């Protein structure tokens, strides 16, 4: 699979018969869908780190993004059966002014090789696609949802028509594309089995029938009113 597969599928899901999408909108939506997918199903990258000088501070590979990537496992020495993993309490990321490095609690000798498995972003380009083929449709659905929202916004924000029939004609496509965007997003979430992060509650339930932290009546909800 490659970028061209997404470029072919997304327009079919959007059905932009009026040609409201501008040039590049589909490619931008695909890029945003890949970013969303990378958060929900991050790519696993395995890299062998050759430690020329040994020590405790080790350079991370170029593909490791300190603000996104996470260490899954660190194997040393490599090649053992079963694999020998360094415990998560034996290493950490160490920020420095110029870069973020891997810090080991115990130093390794010069010439050692560590096998690092970390998460990373997915790549979709003309020559490379790290997203599994089975997830082509849900990722394309998320991109199509972004496009449908753009079209719905175009109709909703269009200038106020003077004739009632024209106003109805403008509102109908806006509702239709908004509905399609919602359905396409739900298809993505259902296919991957993930929750929509935007709908997560930001609060919690509090039982006001309990006393305060000192076990006494609450100021505005005393026992006599319960």
> pLDDT (tens digit, 9 = 90+) per residue, 130-149?
999 999 999 999 999 999 99
Inter-residue contact 185 to 177 (CB < 8 Å): no
Least confident of 49-53, 81-85, 141-145, 166-170: 166-170
| Longest CA–CA separation in the chain, Å | 80
Same domain as 154, residue 61? no
Q: Does residue 211 lie in a domain region?
A: no
Secondary structure (H, E, C), 11-72 = HHHHCCCCCCCCCCHHHHHHHHHHHHHHHHCCEEEEEEEEECCCEEEEECCCCCCCCCCCEE
Q: What is the pLDDT of residues 155-184, one digit of tens each?
A: 988 745 555 545 555 568 999 999 999 999
Question: Which whole number is the average pLDDT over 206-224?
Answer: 48
Instruction: HSE, CB side, 13 Å, CA atoms: give it for residue 14.
Output: 28
Same domain as 178, residue 154? yes
Give the confidence band of 128 by pLDDT, cuts at 50, 70, 90.
very high
pLDDT of amino acid 197: 67
Question: Which whole number is the average pLDDT over 68-89?
Answer: 96
Q: Tokens 């997830």 sit at which residue?
A: 135
Inter-residue contact 11 to 30 (CB < 8 Å): no
Inter-residue contact 14 to 149 (CB < 8 Å): no
pLDDT value at 6 more than 60: yes
Same domain as 127, residue 100? no
pLDDT value at 66 more than 60: yes
Count CB neighbours of 124 within 10 A.
20
Question: Which whole number is the average pLDDT over 39-66?
Answer: 94
Higher pLDDT, 81 or 222: 81
Same domain as 149, residue 181? yes
Same domain as 67, residue 34? no
Count: domains in the chain: 2
Q: What is the pTM of this model?
A: 0.79
pLDDT of amino acid 196: 79
CA dihedral sign, ordered 171, 174, 176, 178: negative
For residue 1, what are the CA distances in angstroms to 7, 40, 93, 129, 186?
A: 11, 20, 34, 6, 23
Same domain as 63, residue 16? no
Q: Does residue 198 lie in a domain region?
A: no
Q: Which residues of 4-33 are buried (b: 16+ CB within 10 A; e: fewer)?
A: eebeebbeebbebeeebbeeebbeebbeeb
Residue-number span of the structural domain to which 171 is assigned: 3-40+123-193
């Amino acid at each position: 699979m490659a970028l061209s597969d997404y470029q072919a599928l997304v327009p079919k899901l959007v059905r932009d018969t009026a040609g409201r999408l501008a040039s590049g909108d589909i490619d931008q939506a695909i890029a945003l869908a890949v970013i969303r997918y990378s958060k929900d199903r991050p790519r696993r990258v395995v890299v062998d780190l050759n430690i020329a000088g040994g020590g405790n501070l080790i350079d991370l590979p170029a593909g490791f993004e300190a603000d996104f990537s996470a260490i899954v496992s660190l194997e040393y020495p490599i090649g053992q059966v079963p694999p020998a993993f360094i415990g998560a309490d034996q290493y950490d990321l160490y920020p420095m002014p110029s870069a973020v490095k891997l810090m080991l609690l115990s130093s390794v000798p010069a010439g050692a090789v560590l096998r690092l498995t970390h998460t990373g972003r997915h790549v979709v380009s003309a020559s490379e696609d790290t997203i599994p083929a089975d997830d082509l449709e849900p990722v394309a659905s998320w991109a199509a949802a972004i496009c449908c929202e753009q079209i719905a916004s175009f109709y909703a924000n269009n200038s106020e028509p003077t004739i009632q029939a024209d106003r109805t004609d403008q509102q109908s496509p806006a509702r239709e594309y908004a509905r399609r965007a919602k359905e396409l997003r739900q298809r993505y979430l259902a296919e991957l089995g993930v929750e929509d992060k935007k709908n997560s509650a930001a609060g919690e339930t509090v039982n006001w029938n309990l006393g305060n932290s000192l076990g006494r009546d609450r100021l505005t909800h005393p026992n006599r009113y319960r």
